[in-house]
Structure 1
Amino acid sequence: MYHCVVGETFACIRKKVSTSLTAAKFVNLTVAFFDEDGVLVQAGKKGVYGKEAIKQELQEFDKLAGKRKMTKIISDTYQMTQDYVIITTDYESTTEKMGVLKGKATQIWKKSNNKYLIYHEMFSIA
């Protein structure tokens, strides 16, 4: 896994976001993108704090959805400040048990030790 360092272009951040979404089938890889104080929120349902809780939440979702065969980003927008990158995406995931899931996600990537990690992610599934 790689990290985008401060001063790199949006292309690096965009690739990292795409990788974090498509790597969702690999829970440990997905969790590695989160800051130690990261938060994962399913809008209107539940939120969890910290890498271990995020890992458990993703594993629980995998039990319900089954294997994710493919995730593709339909659209995305990016905003950047000195210490944060805010990304909003619409995506589709094809899963073994639940079929095609359409969702929205907003991620806030925080600069930490000269690299960006997910500090907050909120998602919804239609």
Structure 2
Amino acid sequence: MSMTNEHAESILAPIMKQYLEALNTSDWKTVESLYHVNSVMIEKGKSCMFGNQAITDSFKAMGADFGKYEVHISNSRYEGVGDFINIHTDFSFVTEKQGVLSGKFTQIWKNEGGKYAILHDQFEL
């Protein structure tokens, strides 16, 4: 069963706020909990990693390359069907060492047992 874009946004937007806050404050336990145990993260045309712990570890390691950073999103579109909600959005990393890095990402969030978690996260810079 599909849902309206507005309904999908009403469910996922507050979770996205929590996700961004966790990234921006280095709350790695929360970041890991927001990725499904079988999640994948794909940098389009470059690399892929599997699992919530590996993905969280990659965010931790970014500090060495970027220094402190903040993630911002804009122009977000939400879509939902069944147990899945997708977000398509522009993002920017405002970094201490490398300036502003911009790109787009698509995430597919899956509802399992009443909790949404990122199953697929694909981005390009």
TM-score range, shorter chain: 0.7 to 0.9
Amino acid at match of 1:101: L
Quick check: 1:87 aligned with 2:104? no
Amino acid at match of 1:48: M
Q: CA deviation at 1:12?
A: 3.5
The CA deviation string for residues 66-118 of structure 1, in whole angstroms up to 9 with x for no partner, is: 111x3322210011001100110101221111111112110000111112110
The answer to which structure has the higher helix fraction is 2
Q: Which moved more, 1:13-22 or 1:28-37?
A: 13-22
CA distance in 1, matches of 2:118, 2:32: 9
* Cα contact 1:48–1:57 (8 A) shared by 2: no
TM-score, normalised to structure 2, is: 0.83
CA distance in 2, matches of 1:93, 1:22: 13
Quick check: 1:17 aligned with 2:20? no
CA distance in 2, matches of 1:92, 1:20: 15
TM-score, normalised to structure 1, is: 0.82
Q: CA deviation at 1:61?
A: 2.0
The CA deviation string for residues 41-75 of structure 1, in whole angstroms up to 9 with x for no partner, is: 1112111111221122222222111111x332221
CA distance in 2, matches of 1:12, 1:79: 11
Amino acid at match of 2:107: Q
Structure 2, unpaired ranges of 5+:
1-6
Aligned alpha-carbon RMSD (Å)? 1.7
Q: How many residues align?
A: 117
* Cα contact 2:8–2:79 (8 A) shared by 1: no
